[in-house]
Each structure stands twice: as structure tokens, then as C-alpha cells.
Structure 1
Amino acid sequence: MSLATELQQVLAGFQQNAPEPVKAMITAAKAQIEADFNREAAIHEGDKLPGFTLPNALSEEVSSSDLLKKGPLLITFYRGTWCPFCNLALVHLQKHLTEFEAKGVTLVAISPELPDTSLSESEKRGLKFPVLSDAGNAYARKLGIVWKQPDSLRPVFDSFGHNLPKRNGDDSLEVPIPTTLLVDGKGVVRNAFIEADYTKRLEPAVALEWVNKLD
């Protein structure tokens, strides 16, 4: 089953089962970011990827310069492990991990969640690629892909038991716009998928097509 099909199933389940007030608040917030997001202000193909040094699930520092020494990177930004759409995207990348590794590509996932949260979730989901913590979305902000979610969603997160302040270490409710970048060995962004509609994600098969076109 494709990632898109599974994402649509999750969306359909939400639309069918979510209480109407909750559905209305989430739908309104989603429509607003889709309308307001400035894609032109975000990172583009051909741009040099800004360097990063971020902690992994064990709080060990991981740098983009060290990763690039091994070859190209496929970097995916996700909102958090509380997001079912994000979890599906990560699982589908994991399913294709050996194919990316065979091409010399390193997968990297980045979210604003604290390292201890990343560790527990990555272990549970069996992810075998680096999961890095971007505290306060500082790095995502450099790429122009941060969404400050409206305060109207605070009671929604509370009702679902998603404690974002605890998960992220701040009370901002900010999350990255779901983004996947293919960066070549020289640190140049060759392909970019940046989608304000967080129910849509890049298919791993498309990412592999990107990789196959690298020089």
C-alpha cells in the first residue's frame, strides 16, 4: 500500500470520527497555514544547505558536515511523533532504507521534540536512521519552514493528551512544515518537497527517483 493511500485512510478516519468542534478548529488552522505559507521564502533547489549540529536520540551531537562526508543526505522534517501522518512517513522511509543506503544516501529525520522523546519513539518504531532534535525549531527557521500553530489548538492538543511543551521543551506550539530535501555530497539542495498541507508527504519511491538522477 502506498504512503498516500495510508495517509488518506488516516485523514478519512479523522473526518469521520473526530468531534465536530475539534474537527472545525483543526480544519480551520490547516486551511490558514495552507493559505499563508510563503513557499518563496523557504529553501529552494540549488541553495546551499545551511550547516547544522543537532543532538540525536542519545544527546550526541551530529553535524551535517560529518554526514556529508559519507555522501548525499535525504533530510525529512516532521512535526512530532504525536502526528499520525508523520509517523506513517517515517515508517515508509524505514521500509526503503536499504535502497537508499545502497545508493550511498544517508536518511536523517529532524523534529522539534527533545532527544529523550525521539529515543523512545524511534526505538518503538524500529527506525534505523538518525533522528535529530531541533530545539525551538531554530534550524527549521533558517530554512523558512516553521509554522506557529494558533492558540486555538491548545485545548485540542490537551484533549488528545499531546503535551507539546513537555515534548518540545517550549510552549510555542511551533512545528516545521513537513519537508523533505535531497542534498548532494557538496551540500547543495537538489530536490525539495515542502508542503503546507501536512496530510501530504513525499513518496519514498519519488525520493529514490531523485537519488537515481544525482550526478
Structure 2
Amino acid sequence: MISVGTPIPNLALLDSSGRPQRLRDRIGAGGLLVFFMRTASCPICNAHVRDLERHADELAARGMSVLLVVPEGPDEAEAWRLRRGIPFAVVTGASGTAHEEVGLTRRVFGAMRQSGTLLIDAAGLVRYALGSTLPTGAYDRTAIMRAVEALPPIDSMPDVDKTGEHAPAGGSES
């Protein structure tokens, strides 16, 4: 799995309406929490999503965006999002799965897709990473919230452009 301290790849994604997205474009002022679900039908992954919903205000207060990544296609992702009333953005990989691009592969003879959680700071660096073949081990709210609290306050973050490069002091030149 991708390591803490490394820049997040700018994954090509599709939102649940089928529109192209880039992972870096989803990073909020305080960062981005990404939960990679094993499948949209995984009951344990869905329990983790419900827990994220319960803590949505706390994350939003820190300027944190939340993104759910499912391996299914956009149509299935949108149907799941609507059926469950999910308040977060739901995306899928534009080609293949985004899971594999961050090192969440299939294990147990290729039968089980790994799930996991990434916390990305506003500069695009991975600050927390947890992946597991068993979905019970892919989400740890206590550790996530500790990692969120360890991020610098929004007003102390450097200006960052969408490529992940730091902008010149005082803004960009024309």
C-alpha cells in the first residue's frame, strides 16, 4: 500500500454520474479522507461509511473532504449512493480500479479485494494509510481522528496548486 509521507497519485476517477474527476481536485482546504470499499455491498464497509457519516460534522469543521471509492462502475455507485442516502462524493476508477493504484490489491487467490483508508493533507501528502484484506481491519476511527488532529490548522497550510506544487509566496504571478 502507498506509504505515509509520499505524494498521492493524481488518480483518474469517475464520479457516480460518470464525469471524469482527478483525486487532487477532491482535496479540501484541510485535506481529504479517502475510504476504499471492498465492494458497495460489503456490510462491514457500509458500517464504516455509517461511522464516517456520524463524524461528518467533525471532519467538515477541519475543512476535511470525504471521498468514498468503490470498485463497481458509475451506475452501480450512483444507485448505491442514492439508495443509502450517502452524503459524500462516491467515485470509481476511470480505468480498472483506483484501489490497485494505491496498492490495495486482491488477495486470497485473487478472491478478496483489499479495502483501506487514506488521509491526505492539503498539500497532497499521505498522512495516514491503512489497508487490509479483511474489511474489519481497513478502518480505525480512533487512529484516523488522531491523524486528522495532527494535521496543521487550515490557516497555517501553505498555498498549494492542483498539481500538488507549492504556490509562490503571495500567490501566483501572471
Confirm or deny: 8 A CA contact 2:11 2:101 kept in the other structure: no
**What amino acid sits opposite 1:124 in the alignment?**
R
What residue is the counterpart of 2:160 in the other structure? none
> Would the alpha carbon gap of residues 182 and 188 (structure 1) be closer, same or farther in structure 2, given more than 3 Å must change?
same
1:144-169 CA-to-partner distances (Å, cap 9, x unmatched) read 21115647xxxxxxxxxxxxxxxxxx
How do 1:190-201 residues align onto structure 2 when only pairs under 5 Å count? 190-201=127-138
How do 1:34-45 residues align onto structure 2 when only pairs under 5 Å count? 42-45=1-4
Using structure 1 for the length normalisation, give the TM-score.
0.64
Among residues 72, 93, 106, which one is paired with 1:134 in the alignment?
93
Aligned mates of 1:108, 1:147 — CA distance in 2: 21
What residue is the counterpart of 1:86 in the other structure? 45
Unaligned runs of 5+ in 2: 153-174
Aligned mates of 1:70, 1:62 — CA distance in 2: 18
What residue is the counterpart of 1:184 in the other structure? 121
The offset of 1:205, in angstroms, is 3.8
Higher fraction of strand: 2
**What amino acid sits opposite 2:34 in the alignment?**
I
> Would the alpha carbon gap of residues 125 and 69 (structure 1) be closer, same or farther in structure 2, given more than 3 Å must change?
closer
> Would the alpha carbon gap of residues 137 and 86 (structure 1) be closer, same or farther in structure 2, given more than 3 Å must change?
farther
| Residue aligned with 2:135, SS | coil
Aligned mates of 2:107, 2:145 — CA distance in 1: 31
Using structure 2 for the length normalisation, give the TM-score.
0.78
What residue is the counterpart of 1:22 in the other structure? none
| Residue aligned with 1:132, SS | strand
What residue is the counterpart of 1:145 in the other structure? 104
Match status 1:55 vs 2:14: yes
Confirm or deny: 8 A CA contact 1:112 1:136 kept in the other structure: no
Confirm or deny: 8 A CA contact 2:44 2:136 kept in the other structure: yes
Aligned mates of 1:66, 1:95 — CA distance in 2: 24
Confirm or deny: 8 A CA contact 1:113 1:135 kept in the other structure: no
Aligned mates of 1:64, 1:199 — CA distance in 2: 25
Among residues 62, 65, 75, which one is paired with 1:103 in the alignment?
62
Confirm or deny: 8 A CA contact 1:52 1:139 kept in the other structure: yes
Q: How many residues align?
A: 152
Confirm or deny: 8 A CA contact 1:75 1:110 kept in the other structure: yes
Tell which deviates more after alignment, 135-144 or 74-83: 135-144
The offset of 1:182, in angstroms, is 0.5
Identity among equivalent pairs (%): 26
Confirm or deny: 8 A CA contact 1:96 1:204 kept in the other structure: no
**What amino acid sits opposite 1:86 in the alignment?**
C
Higher fraction of helix: 1
What residue is the counterpart of 1:68 in the other structure? 27
Aligned mates of 2:118, 2:96 — CA distance in 1: 16
The offset of 1:136, in angstroms, is 6.0
The offset of 1:87, in angstroms, is 1.0
Confirm or deny: 8 A CA contact 1:179 1:193 kept in the other structure: yes
What residue is the counterpart of 2:143 in the other structure? 206
RMSD of Structure 2 on Structure 1 (CA)? 2.0
